[in-house]
Amino acid sequence: MKTFTNPHVAIVGATGAVGTTMLSILEERDFPIASLRLLASSRSAGNTVETTWGSIVIEDLATADPAGIDIALFSAGGARSKQYAPKFADAGVAVIDNSSAFRMDDDVPLVVAGVNGSAITSHQGIIANPNCTTMALLMAAGPLHDAAGLKSMIATSYQSVSGSGKTGMDELERQMKFFSKDIPALASGDWEDPGGDLYQRPIAFNVLPLAGSITDKAYTDEEWKLVNETRKILDRQDIAVEPTCVRVPVMVGHGIAASMWFDDPVSADAATEILASTPGVQVWDDTKVPTPLDSAGIDDVLVGRVRETIGFPGGISLFASGDNLRKGAALNAIELAELLLER
């Protein structure tokens, strides 16, 4: 595996919600950079961004030459990743991709820093970032799996609108303002539809029990990500995962309620002790309930409501919440870049 000391770094998709978060986290963590390049679509090309490393002119991804780049942090969407990431990898660039384009590729490691970081050593040019929901959940499930062997899990996600990008955040803000003009109508059922093309139903003051697009067996692509990515990251294909993904009127921060059963019994006290000693996890007790609002803007995943299952005894139920733009995307990508430097 190629190693670096002071790498030449590029952010691909630099003007999006995750791309801008990547830049701010690089600055916050004093990431050792020899040079930084910012790439985006032609719409943004030519604009200048002020950074710790000076004024940087955004380049057009379509015409950019990857020569000289050591690490490229991709957050430009699946289609652009499929088109450009292999070109960068062929040029000797270590690509850390935030899209779903390569996650289930057998030749591409799917890595959560702090859970299966050693998997990064098998990369052949491209490393995949997991889905933001999977990421937050596995920060809790991963350490418990290491201790007791995860065999089955029921997981329900409560995903913020920023999971749909800035478009989702704009739609929630617009609909909140629309509905706020007549709050009593929300209780009487006399509300008017605020309109919107992004979600199947209004998202403001509402909960949508369908996040993503329907695919196989009437499950959404978001739900299948929880199934398939969990198995790949934890390197156990027989883990039974029963997922439901829900969209909620939250700007930033995904929450996941999960019940898990293991090869070996785990008590609530033992689970709490394991999680409390896990870097990147904060355990909150029932006097300080973890919520997406609390997780927004911080690096750690918050875990609480840790308790032993009662319907099917022997398992552990908990609630995890993480900032989907940070640990769920940008932070993990940069932590993977840091692993490349360490190794």
Of the residues 123, 132, 145, 245, which is catalytic?
132
Q: Rounded CA gap, 263 and 246, in Å?
A: 29
Of the residues 123, 145, 245, 254, which is catalytic?
254
User: Amino acid letter at 197?
Assistant: D
Q: Rounded CA gap, 71 and 125, in Å?
A: 10
Tokens 């791309």 label which residue?
19
DSSP assignment letter at 327: I
Q: How far, in whole angstroms, is CA 228 from its chain's centroid?
A: 15
Distances (CA, A) of 19 to 59, 73, 79, 137, 339: 14, 8, 16, 22, 19
Annotation marks residue 245 as catalytic: no
CB 69 within 8 A of CB 102: no
Annotation marks residue 145 as catalytic: no
Residues designated as active site: 132, 254
